[in-house]
Structure 1
């Protein structure tokens, strides 16, 4: 018997034949029995769960010559005609290919006419979510006030795409996935009726593979029967459906358990040569570890899967992994599965994901295996090596925490870079510009001396020379200097271009940076040497490079301008200015600026 013949032979003809939708069947039957049939229904749920079949059974039930009856007789002319599709008053429309406003307008124009053959006109619109917005608007008025002889049954797998105005005018029924037990029982009944020999494990495998869709399950059953010659075995069902056998899962899991990355590549290559899809393998492997996790955390649930036949071996595998490691492995596989949707080399990503699992410790960190231990170490040896490596990691983490605590104490006590000693001086100078952890790391860049942090130059001479001729000369030829630096080494230019030449004094050009990283990279000895070499070429004399953060320069420049303004207001020469001003004067300048504050003497 062909697949089409088998599916049609076992397609539900009455409500009693439907599987797994008892709550919906009971509601519809009661409505028919009490003559309270609605004018519009919405059937939604996963594919293959009986939405269209229920709609046709409903059409037969309300139009049966012996009814309306809770169950159609399937013997009268009306029932047989609806089953054969020859009754013109029961119209089935595929909205995926008839989704425009013209088709819906045609329905709207025809609903006013009374049925010619049966009691009710029934419109079954499948995949109704595919209709356009205009088509929904045209259907809306008809759904709201249809003639009494018309019933609309809308079927969809994606109800969230329907306008709320359409849903509110229908009685909604949610079809659920058919349970594994119900599917297996129906497949067993089909095999008995059709004379097909089938193993119980094969039927369970087919039922799980259909993901709750009875139609898909019947299709897979027929496909497996055709492959096995009227005899269905688990191995044959796995082969014909492109799944993975239990031993293949076990071998991959053992390689991950033993952190044997070397065994991963030949195993994956064997799967690919057997015609398996990397995406499907990834999906099934996630399910495999999920079942291991369920068995570990809820052993009473009896996590059975279509991939596992030997429960003892499966339980032993679950004991080899900790729950924390299983959680992390599922998380890693899920991330790689998302990337595989957009990758050209899905097999490579699958291999990388499995090798990633082999190198993860219990905390999810990547660790390198000792080459001397080999790839095929036993589980016990692997755990011993992992424990030793974990102890070393813990010791290093404690040392880092101790150093961080010491550094924070120094910073809280206000210790300067010079006063903190040589050991802690590297981190203190940059504490104002970086977080406390990053400050110590930046010290590795050093200044011209190579071992310390970048010191801030004295800014007073540069503030005094802000409007001098040397500064103007530097600014006019800065573009030429940048171009020469770019020609010499483009990477140095990429960092230096962030700086702004703000002043020049004592044969030194001061460059202000907005980014600390750009400043630190520019200050590297090799980069500083190149820039000063270009300065000598451009200006014909040795010129040194000094750097400062832009915010520090702006503060110094504003302070210099304020002091100059104060000196002029008090009619004092700049050199006669007091060493310091009252604190309230400084605060006034900071709050209102030197343009709004005028200082007068009594």
Structure 2
């Protein structure tokens, strides 16, 4: 029997046959019994949970010749005609392929005509969230003033995409995922009726893979049954669905626990040679480590860990891992699962993810992150490098305690990094920033060039956004400080934003657009906002980088603070809209 034949044979024909949606069925039956049938319903829920099936059974119940009845008889011509789809007054529409306004206008034109064969015209619109905005507007008019002989049933898996005006005119029913026990029970009934011999653990496995969708569970059952020639075992179910056997889980988990990449790589290769998909293996591993974590933290009875076959062996593996490590591993696998969807080499991505687990950092007793070397990489060279790294970390920590700025060295002796290769904030190497002389910029805070730049800075930001939106996200953190001698000074609150803006490619875009907008060639200069504000206040603090400022006792002009009312105006309207003119 094909899957279509099996699914049709076991597709519910009455409300009694529905699985897992008793709360909805009871509400609909009460409405029929009390003759309070609504003109519009919204059935929402995951795929395969019975939304369209319930809609068809409801259409039979309200149109049954023996009723309206709380259960369709399935013997009268109306019930049989709706079942096989020959009643023209019950129309099922797939909104994914009929999503335009013309199709909905056609419905609007036809609803005014009375039904010809049954009591009610029933329109079942599946995947209704796929309709266009214009189609929704046309449907809304019909839902506002529906004829008494028409019932609309809208089905969707994504109700948040529906306009609120549509939802408010429907009775909403939320279908839930079918429980694991209900699915297993129905699969057993199907196997008994169809003469299929199935192991209980195989049915458990199939029910778990369907993720609450009864339709998917029946589809998997038929697929495994065809492969197994009438006898379904756990091994055959695992092979057909591309899953991993319990022994394979255990071997991979043991290799990861021992940090032995040399053992793990042949295991991955064996899985790929056996036809397993990389994404399915990664998904199964996430579930496996999830069960280890559940068994470790919530091992009480009733906790769902259906992947456990050998409880004693599973318990030993759970004890071998710490809870923190399991949390980190699941988080890492989840990130790689997202990347795997777009990877051109899925097997390589899977191998990288597992090697990442083998070399993950762990929190030591003193709170530091330490790298644990795998058993295949514990050579003396690796140990020596790790000792050198630890020694450098201790020196850096001591230097910071003594007040030596990070990234500088007090001597050029052996082991000192050259100034052209100082570590940057992202961990890479880059040139040390030159010292910024802020005195010329302080004297030009309110100059004509600076005010002109402030007035047009919004246009600069907008043009940068049009050319590269990511650069705009970093650049808008910078505050335009001053313009002097062809230099444009920006003060940044965040060092990462400043560093990203200074990249050569980003610098070229900013300087080019600023030059076009402001009408003169400009060179970008950056400083931290806290240092710029300290310089303006006259109390320079060189905690971030050395700044060269003219002492206060020299004859250089000083920058006076603005009057209090000017500062309030800037706070209210923004610095770009406040222009100070001296009319004395």
When normalised by structure 1's length, the TM-score is 0.67
Structure having the larger proportion of residues in helix: 1
CA contact (8 A) 2:243 2:276 kept: yes
Question: Which residue in the other structure is 2:402 paired with?
Answer: 406
Secondary structure of the structure 2 residue equivalent to 1:330: helix
Residue 587 of structure 1: which of 554, 558, 566 is its match?
Answer: 558
C-alpha root-mean-square deviation of aligned residues, in Å? 4.3
Is 1:168 the counterpart of 2:133 in the alignment? no
Residues 17 and 169 of structure 1, relative CA distance in 2, 3 Å threshold: same
Distance in 2 separating the partners of 1:390 and 1:182:
55
Distance in 2 separating the partners of 1:302 and 1:392:
51
Distance in 2 separating the partners of 1:142 and 1:445:
68
CA contact (8 A) 1:183 1:217 kept: yes
Residues 31 and 397 of structure 1, relative CA distance in 2, 3 Å threshold: farther
Distance in 2 separating the partners of 1:73 and 1:123:
21
Greater Cα offset, 278-287 or 44-53: 278-287
Question: Which residue in the other structure is 2:349 paired with?
Answer: 349
Secondary structure of the structure 2 residue equivalent to 1:587: coil
Secondary structure of the structure 1 residue equivalent to 2:361: coil
Question: Which residue in the other structure is 2:236 paired with?
Answer: 236
Map 1:65-80; keep pairs closer than 5 Å: 65-80=65-80
Map 1:438-477; keep pairs closer than 5 Å: none
Distance in 1 separating the partners of 2:57 and 2:434:
83
CA contact (8 A) 2:260 2:376 kept: no
Distance in 2 separating the partners of 1:323 and 1:243:
25
Question: Which residue in the other structure is 1:155 paired with?
Answer: 155
Paired residues in the alignment total 456
Distance in 2 separating the partners of 1:261 and 1:233:
32
Distance in 1 separating the partners of 2:214 and 2:318:
31
Question: Which residue in the other structure is 1:521 paired with?
Answer: none
| Offset at residue 361 of structure 1 (A) | 3.3
| Offset at residue 391 of structure 1 (A) | 11
Secondary structure of the structure 1 residue equivalent to 2:19: coil
Secondary structure of the structure 2 residue equivalent to 1:329: helix
| Offset at residue 96 of structure 1 (A) | 1.7
Secondary structure of the structure 1 residue equivalent to 2:91: strand
Distance in 2 separating the partners of 1:455 and 1:108:
73
Distance in 1 separating the partners of 2:264 and 2:74:
57
Residues 150 and 581 of structure 1, relative CA distance in 2, 3 Å threshold: closer
Distance in 2 separating the partners of 1:221 and 1:145:
45
| Offset at residue 127 of structure 1 (A) | 1.3
Residue deviations 1:258-316, cap 9 Å, x none?
Answer: 10101121111111111111111111111111111111111115555454311211111
CA contact (8 A) 1:48 1:215 kept: yes
Residues 359 and 580 of structure 1, relative CA distance in 2, 3 Å threshold: closer
Question: Which residue in the other structure is 2:61 paired with?
Answer: 61
CA contact (8 A) 1:39 1:150 kept: yes
Distance in 1 separating the partners of 2:551 and 2:132:
78
Residues 25 and 395 of structure 1, relative CA distance in 2, 3 Å threshold: farther
| Offset at residue 372 of structure 1 (A) | 7.0
Question: Which residue in the other structure is 1:480 paired with?
Answer: none
CA contact (8 A) 1:196 1:225 kept: yes
Secondary structure of the structure 1 residue equivalent to 2:402: helix
Distance in 2 separating the partners of 1:119 and 1:257:
67
Residues 421 and 36 of structure 1, relative CA distance in 2, 3 Å threshold: closer
Map 1:46-125; keep pairs closer than 5 Å: 46-125=46-125
Residues 87 and 338 of structure 1, relative CA distance in 2, 3 Å threshold: same
Is 1:368 the counterpart of 2:373 in the alignment? yes
Structure 2: 5+ residue stretches without partners:
364-368, 440-483, 492-497, 500-524, 528-549, 564-580
Residues 38 and 403 of structure 1, relative CA distance in 2, 3 Å threshold: same
Distance in 1 separating the partners of 2:489 and 2:71:
83
CA contact (8 A) 1:32 1:69 kept: yes
CA contact (8 A) 2:291 2:307 kept: no
Bigger-Rg structure (1/2): 1
Question: Which residue in the other structure is 2:473 paired with?
Answer: none
Question: Which residue in the other structure is 2:469 paired with?
Answer: none
| Offset at residue 234 of structure 1 (A) | 0.4
Residues 37 and 266 of structure 1, relative CA distance in 2, 3 Å threshold: same
